[in-house]
Structure 1
Amino acid sequence: MKRLISLAVLILAISLGLGLWSQNLQKSQGATGDNTLNFANWGDYIDPALITKFEKETGYHINLETFDSNEAMFTKIQQGGTSYDLTVPSEYMIEKMKKANLLVPLDHKRLTGLKNYGSQFMNKSFDPGNKYSVPYFWGTLGIIYNDKFVKAGEIQHWDDLWNPRYKNSIMLIDSARDILGFSLVSLGKSMNTTDAPTLQAAKGKLDELAPNVKAVVADEIKMYMAENEAPLAVDWSGEAADMLANNKHLHYVVPSEGSNLWFDNLVIPKTAKHYKAIYAFLNFMSQPKNAAQNAEYVGYATPNAKAKALLPKAVRDDRQFYPDNQTMAHLQTYADLSPKTVGLYNDLFLEFKMYRK
């Protein structure tokens, strides 16, 4: 009898242990109870203090997972196996996710802060009526220069980068769409060009830039520029803000002839499960005080007009990161291109990188 009791106890212990292990495994995979929000975001793209504040105020727990590209996020959601409640795609990716039926429409009746966003950031072509998205951050692509090596006013246009005096001086962000994009603008063409000969011409002009290119890298640009390792760089405005904060000799320019204007947005993927937590978070992040705090931490421009008004005057009046209307009028938003065209962009960019070696 004792053996039977002992065996029963052992079986119960194993069962409880397996249950606990299963619960812990679920937690590690972001599959917890109703008080959870599973959030897939870009790295270092939210103030950790806001996560703590949200959890304390609402009782919901945030499981944060990061990704490094729109495409990586898209693939994970499309393949299934995730339980993301919210994610942050860029504008062209929203179009792609809509076509793939990966998004859940927003219930505007449950959103309390849409009125806080500037009208210029609402009802965009990639999501008419904001059926699926709430603005999160926006920014531009531009040129960072170091005034220890480059005089003020010398760099105002994309074509200035081709000046022979900048041999082995320029750091480029490792992004096919952006680098081919500014070459297209320098030729007077659209950053959404699909014409193969025009793209070949843009790549040919990039080949002429190759002697001036010091490196094609990603996050390392911030370190190199902050430490005066290069006179020039092409990168996004938020990365530029981080660089400028660490080196008083750095400046950011958005060429007036045109550049990319991008938008990152909060959306609900089809994998969502925790809708109360989702809408609590969307409303929390739309509160002006929280949005302003997030903008100061991340460094990108906020689309929340009431939050912008709370930022230091030096920030909200900085035309480097909040361009004037004249510059904004010449900026272009990326469209969702066909897989064939995206492949062409990537192939040409790879050829350029190989050529410069």
Structure 2
Amino acid sequence: MFNAVSDDAYLSMPFSMGKQMEKNMRIWLSLAVVSFCAFVQANEKVVNVYAWPQEVSLEIIEKFQKDTGIKVNFATFDSNEMLYAKMKASKGQYDIIEPSGYYISRMIREGMIQKIDLNALTNYQNIDPRFRHPDYDLTGEYSIPWVWGVTGIFVNRNYHASKKIEKWSDFWSQSYYDALLMLDDPREVFNIGLLTLDQSPNEQNADILAEAYKHLLKLLPNIRLYNNNSVASLIIDEDVTVGMAWNADVYKASRENPAIEFIYPKDKFVMWVDAFAIPSDAPHPENAYIFLNYILQARIAAIQVQETYYAITNQAAKESLPKTLLDNKILFPDDETLSRGIFQTDVNNEALETISRYWQLLKLQ
């Protein structure tokens, strides 16, 4: 316990003792201020969420704030690389992040995210068992799978009715000169280069990656633009009529234009999962748990599909969806189709650096 010292007693002390007492006082006051700030921060009714655009419905955020009284500070990123860089540069800023699965394993390895007490999430049981122990998080202790999807081919049949397109390798046809939309994502684009060479999208061998780069160089005349953020709008407005896209964006576009078709490539395709994680230095971890448990409710997760049209990992929510959504093969392909899918996983730093270098060269051409 801190004991007060009178002015007279302080003045009667030897100079060095008085200075030491003053120093101790300053240290104690500083610690008290730090402790108080930490207490206030820990008890703030706020949760800071950093996620992909449109992957957390605004309606869900509004409902969460109303039902819990916890304010959501919501920010978005455009790529896993952006998320990763921001996490490295900004410490103690976010309570919940939403990396893609292959970045989860990287963050586990680097100690960037903490284990999640699944017993504290009473609604975790709603998650489809097929997503609970993925390759990127085998124990399922570091991440909560949220939405999933497929990267495939879209085509506007009003413009390409006579052209047969059913696999990635068809992109190299001269008939698609200056026509293709490509995702602005190095891994996604290299996945195509690798798959058309009958290689794994998770390849790490430098020589094989070099071959994929050379193969992609031959595709450049057919590439019209790279884009991630406004894919559905570009397709709806017919600024692009063929290319690669995530199935949810194509579904949105097809609702506006029935001539839009989504194709699951016959030469295989990449499947992805975007999952929630709690950073190791999260400032409000208790609120992070409240947020996660809230959105895992079946009725809440169902809103996500009906508002944004991303397929969800929440089996209980899926069972409550309208039949028109459940039967849509763009969002929910059958098991035979999914058998051609390959989950994207993490690759080593050398492979990432190689892909990044080739990616910059591709975009400079």
TM-score, normalised to structure 2, is 0.84
2:89 to 72, 79, 88: 79
1:161 to 171, 178, 183: 171
Provide closer, same or farther for how the CA distance between residues 234 and 57 of structure 1 changes in structure 2, counting only shifts above 3 A: same
Q: Is 1:264 matched up with 2:274?
A: yes
Shift of 1:309: 1.6
Secondary structure of the structure 1 residue equivalent to 2:159? coil
CA deviation vs aligned residue, 1:208-250 (integer Å, no higher than 9, x gap): 2222222223334433321122320212222223322332221
Tell me the residue number matched to 2:325.
315
Q: Report if aligned partners of 1:46, 1:297 keep a CA contact under 8 Å in 2.
A: no
Secondary structure of the structure 2 residue equivalent to 1:129? coil
Provide closer, same or farther for how the CA distance between residues 350 and 115 of structure 1 changes in structure 2, counting only shifts above 3 A: same
List alignment gaps of at least 5 residues for structure 1: 1-25
Secondary structure of the structure 2 residue equivalent to 1:155? coil
Q: Report if aligned partners of 1:180, 1:202 keep a CA contact under 8 Å in 2.
A: yes
Provide closer, same or farther for how the CA distance between residues 55 and 220 of structure 1 changes in structure 2, counting only shifts above 3 A: closer
Tell me the residue number matched to 2:349.
339
Structure 1: distance between partners of 2:246 and 2:195 = 16
Tell me the residue number matched to 1:226.
236
Tell me the residue number matched to 2:203.
193
Structure 1: distance between partners of 2:295 and 2:226 = 35
List alignment gaps of at least 5 residues for structure 2: 1-36
Provide closer, same or farther for how the CA distance between residues 170 and 137 of structure 1 changes in structure 2, counting only shifts above 3 A: same
Q: Is 1:172 matched up with 2:182?
A: yes
Secondary structure of the structure 2 residue equivalent to 1:38? strand
Structure 1: distance between partners of 2:43 and 2:54 = 25
Q: Is 1:352 matched up with 2:362?
A: yes
Q: Is 1:216 matched up with 2:229?
A: no
Tell me the residue number matched to 1:242.
252
Q: How many residues align?
A: 327
Tell me the residue number matched to 2:30.
none
Q: Report if aligned partners of 1:172, 1:217 keep a CA contact under 8 Å in 2.
A: yes
Shift of 1:101: 0.7
Q: Which amino acid aligns with 2:249?
A: E
Tell me the residue number matched to 1:183.
193
User: Once the two structures are aligned, what percentage of the paired residues are identical?
Assistant: 26
Provide closer, same or farther for how the CA distance between residues 69 and 82 of structure 1 changes in structure 2, counting only shifts above 3 A: farther
Shift of 1:33: 4.2
Shift of 1:299: 1.9
Shift of 1:268: 0.8
Q: Which amino acid aligns with 1:252?
A: F
Provide closer, same or farther for how the CA distance between residues 353 and 32 of structure 1 changes in structure 2, counting only shifts above 3 A: same
Q: Which amino acid aligns with 2:121?
A: L
Provide closer, same or farther for how the CA distance between residues 153 and 107 of structure 1 changes in structure 2, counting only shifts above 3 A: farther
Structure 1: distance between partners of 2:364 and 2:215 = 15
Structure 1: distance between partners of 2:137 and 2:73 = 27
Shift of 1:255: 0.8
Provide closer, same or farther for how the CA distance between residues 52 and 231 of structure 1 changes in structure 2, counting only shifts above 3 A: closer
Provide closer, same or farther for how the CA distance between residues 32 and 279 of structure 1 changes in structure 2, counting only shifts above 3 A: closer
1:281 to 279, 286, 291: 291
Q: Which amino acid aligns with 1:265?
A: A
Secondary structure of the structure 2 residue equivalent to 1:184? helix
TM-score, normalised to structure 1, is 0.86
Structure 1: distance between partners of 2:175 and 2:201 = 27
